[in-house]
Amino acid sequence: MIAIDPDVDQKHAPIAVIDVGNQTTAAALYADGEIKDAQRFDSSNMSAISGILSGLAAGGLDGRLAGVVIASVVPKQNGVIGDIVEREHDLEPLFVGEQVTLPMDVLVDEPTAVGVDRICAAASAFDRRKEACVVVDFGTAITIDAVDDNGAFMGGAIMPGPRVQAKSLNNQTAQLPEVDIIRPADGVGLNTTHAIQVGIYHGIVGAVRQIIEAYATQVGRWLPAVATGGDARLFAEDCGVFDAIIDDLTLAGVGLAFDKRLAAGVQL
Q: Choose among 126, 141, 120: nearest CA to 69.
A: 120
Nearest to 27 by CA among 257, 261, 246, 255: 255
| Neighbour-count burial for 179-201, b at 16+ CB within 10 Å, e otherwise | bebeebeeeeeeeeebebbbbbb
Q: How far apart are CA 243 and CA 235, in angstroms?
A: 13
Q: How far is Cα 227 from Cα 231, in angstroms, rounded to an integer?
A: 9
The answer to whether 120 and 103 are in contact (CB under 8 A) is yes
Cα(164)–Cα(32) distance, integer angstroms: 36
Query: Would strands 141-147 and 68-72 be described as parallel, antiparallel, or unpaired?
Result: unpaired
Sign of CA dihedral 95, 112, 35, 232: positive
3-state secondary structure of 227: strand
* Residue 62 a catalytic site member: no
Catalytic residue among 19, 117, 145, 259: 117
Residues near 214 by beta carbon (within 8 Å), at least 6 away in sequence: none
Q: Catalytic positions, please?
A: 117
